[in-house]
Every structure is written in C-alpha cells, then in structure tokens.
Chain A
Amino acid sequence: MVTISECEQRTDVQLVSLSIENQEYYYCLMKRYEIPLMNYVRKLSGMNRSDAEDVLQEIFILTYQNLNDYDRQFKFSSWIYRIAHNQTVSMLRKKTKNYQDISWDEHDLDQLVQSDFDIEQSLFQKMDYHNLLQNIDTLPLKYKEVLLLKFIEGKGYQEISDILRKPMGTIGTLINRAKKRLLQEIEKTQSRLKND
C-alpha cells in the first residue's frame, strides 16, 4: 500500500495521473480531501456523521470513476468539491429524513467574522454563535452554499464558479444577496428574542 509520506510531495494533478494507473495512489488523494469534504458535506446538508460518511464514500467512488474527466486546467479541489456538492445536493433532494445535526463550530464563526464578510460585524457580536449559525442554516440552499464556499471553505470566486458551474458574475450576485438575506434573518431573530 502506498503510504501518505510517499504522496506528500506530489501535487493533486500528479496523484490523479498516478491513481489512473495504480489505484493505491488514490488513497492519498482521498486522505488529502477526507476531512475538508466531510466538513463541507455536513455543513451543507446538516447530516449526522454516519450518513455523511456514506455520502463521502459515494463521492470518492464517483470521483475515482470519473478521474479521466478531470481537466487539468482546473484546480483538482474545485473539481472534487463540485462532485461533492452535486452528490450532497442530490442526496438532499432524495432525502427521506430531515437532517438537523448541525455541524458548525466556533471556529467557523471566527472564519466568517475574519473574512471579508462586510456586513455589520457588531450584529454578530450581539448574537451568540449558535443563533448565527442557525440563521445560516435557515437560508435557502442557493445562498447557504455560496456563503459556505466563500467564507467557511475560503474559496475564490473562480473556484466557486467552477464548483457550482455558474458564471462568476452570478456567484458575486448570489453572495451579495446571501449576505443581505442573512442580515434580514439575523434581525428577525433578534427582534423575536427581544419580544420574548
């Protein structure tokens, strides 16, 4: 079996080429993306760990089957995130249960506040973490996914465009709308809390 140390010096693109020839190398690619993709799947879907693991396994198998479709002019991470995104959304559409095991943590919120999330930060400070993250979860998927990719996963506009297969201009518009919508949700929650 190929060890992780053997793969450490290799780029994603090199590992893709090696994996097509020798499936052992695919282990390194999977290992490299296991944690980020697991987090992404869980945050996007709200699935519990066990369900998310099943989805992740499907993502890895699908990625492996489609390795020859990978275009080396794209970032491999964008490509595998695209597969992960599509697979998760497809699972959500088919879902028979309502996933509510929200897997956000305080680190996510720190990332959100430190990023160029230029809406009123004072608002964040007034809210506790849990409420803010709950508000993100109430957003429609199209807003939630761009917020996640931009502010939690730290992806650039071009990468988000490649992951979601939407033009960059549309991504910019969606991010702005998502921010406004989140602000509205936060204000609603705050006024509800005050009234209570």
Chain B
Amino acid sequence: MTNISKKTLEKIKNERIHPKPRWYFLTRNYFFWLMFALTTLLGSIAFGMILFITTNLDWDIYQYLGLSLPEAVIVSLPYLWIALLIFFLFITYYNFIHTRRGYRYRFIFIFLISLLISVLLGFGFYQYGWTETMERELRARIPGYQHLVYTGENQWMHPEKGLLSGTIKEIDPEKKSLQLKDYQGTEWTIDINQAMIRGNMLLVENMDIKIIGQQLSENIFEAVEIRIPRGFQMGRGRRQ
C-alpha cells in the first residue's frame, strides 16, 4: 500500500495548507443559532397574527353571509400566516440541525419545540397588542394585503347583507343617528333608534364599531345591533 499519510503530509507542507481558524467555525455555529432565533421569532409573529386575525373575527354572523360554519371556517382561515408559520418552522428546523448537536434530535421533537416557542411568544405578542399594530401597518403599507388575509373588516363590509363596520365620525343624540365612515371611505348615516349596543358601552366619536342591521338606501343603514371591537376601551393596540 502506498504511504498515503506520508504523501498527504508532503502535500500539506508543499501547498502550505493550514487549519482554518477557530473563529471561522464558531461564527458558522453562531450564525445557525442566530438564524434559529430569528426564524423562531418570525414564526412567533406569524402565530400571533393567526391568533389576532381569528379571534378578531366574529364567528356568530356567518349566517348573514349565507355560509355554513364549515364554509365560514374555510373562508376565514388566515392561510397566508399559516403558510408563513409552517415555512418558518421548517427553516427553524433546518437551522437547528445545522448547529453542532442539532442532528441528534428527531424532526418531530424539534418541530414541536419550535411550535411551542412560537405559540408562547406569539401569544405574548398578541396580548401586548403588537400583532394588532402590525396588522394595521401591513394593511396600510402593503398594497393588496387585505385581499390576502380575510379579517374582521372583510367580514363586516357587506352592507347589502346587513353587516357594516367603520369609524364613528359624528353622533346626533337628538335624531338618534350617527355618521360613520366605513373602511372603504364611504360615509353612512346610521339610524340607531332600535339599536342594541353590545357590551353596554357608550358610543363616542372615532370609535370603531360593527353593525348588524339593514341597508335602507344607498348611504343609509338601520342598526339593530352595534358591537365594539374587543379591547377598544383599553385604547388602541391594547387587548383585554
């Protein structure tokens, strides 16, 4: 047998081959840990968004939209965020198995741990109202975002089916009516004579409300029930 060890040592000397520095490997390892942390954070945001969007939907009005409950679930799921959550979980798994000892753990173990972290952090983001702020920012800054995600606003923008939502611009206590601007910018006069206000809250200007009722003419709507989005009384961005 050829003396490979001797030949290799000669080659190492002749070609001046040296071991790569330790910092190079440490940096690579830290990079994967950093990416692991980052993708876990992104997964948490995705979970927080799923939580915010689904809890912000009203699950008792699907009959107004002519849907059955399973149909309402299918229509309402935030597929974009679910897909992003799954994507980030896979990327988290990829980063973890590339750390020094990550390969020792089974896929399902890493996947479930990442999911658990995402759920816990995501719940925290939701509780602190960060997901609501983010949702509002995304809606305002990313064109077409509202078409990708089915939110409470999509759900309540059906005046022809008796569902309307928007912001109170003016209240007329004498006529028992109010001026409302919906999320598409249309101004409405709302007759609140017969309206029951859920949650026993006092209506004030600049308050976001959801109305169940009947469209009487092009810009006139009669309210039967008025709902106030959860957490409003604590100020925007803060949830109960």
Binding site for B on A (CB under 8 A): 19-20, 23-24, 26-27, 30-31, 34-35, 38, 49, 53, 56-57, 60-61, 64-69, 71, 161, 165-170
Which A residue's beta carbon lies closest to that of B23? Answer: A68
A138 to chain B, nearest CB (A): 28
A167 to B102, CA, bound (A): 9
A71 to B26, CA, bound (A): 11
Contact status B104-A30, CB under 8 Å = no
Contact status B103-A61, CB under 8 Å = no
Contact status A167-B5, CB under 8 Å = no
A30 to B8, CA, bound (A): 9
User: Main SS of the interface on chain B?
Assistant: helix
Contact status B11-A27, CB under 8 Å = no
Contact status A23-B9, CB under 8 Å = yes
The verdict on B142 contacting chain A, using a C-beta distance below 8 Å, is: no
> Tally of A-B residue pairs with Cβ under 8 A?
68
Residue of B9, B22, B97 contacting most chain A CB atoms (<10 Å) = B9
Stretch with Cβ within 8 A of A (4 or more), from B13-21, B54-62, B192-200, B211-219: B13-21
- B19: chain A residues within 8 A (beta carbon): 19-20, 64-68
Given A56-B4, A69-B20, A71-B100, CB of A64 within 8 Å of CB of B105: no
Residue of A19, A20, A57 contacting most chain B CB atoms (<10 Å) = A57
Contact status B106-A66, CB under 8 Å = no
Contact status B17-A34, CB under 8 Å = no
The verdict on B12 contacting chain A, using a C-beta distance below 8 Å, is: yes
Q: Which of B22, B25, B104 contacts A161 (CB 8 A)?
A: B104
- B2: chain A residues within 8 A (beta carbon): 53
User: Main SS of the interface on chain A?
Assistant: helix
Contact status B17-A27, CB under 8 Å = no
Contact status B4-A34, CB under 8 Å = yes
Q: Which of B9, B97, B100, B103 contacts A27 (CB 8 A)?
A: B9
Q: Which of A38, A53, A65 contacts B20 (CB 8 A)?
A: A65
Residue of B8, B24, B103 contacting most chain A CB atoms (<10 Å) = B8
- A167: chain B residues within 8 A (beta carbon): 103-106
The verdict on B6 contacting chain A, using a C-beta distance below 8 Å, is: yes
The verdict on B7 contacting chain A, using a C-beta distance below 8 Å, is: yes
Given A20-B19, A26-B9, A56-B4, CB of A68 within 8 Å of CB of B104: no
A161 to B19, CA, bound (A): 25
Contact status B9-A61, CB under 8 Å = no
Beyond A26-B12, A27-B6, A66-B25, 5 additional contacts (C-beta under 8 Å) are: A30-B8, A57-B8, A60-B4, A165-B97, A168-B104
Contact status A57-B17, CB under 8 Å = no
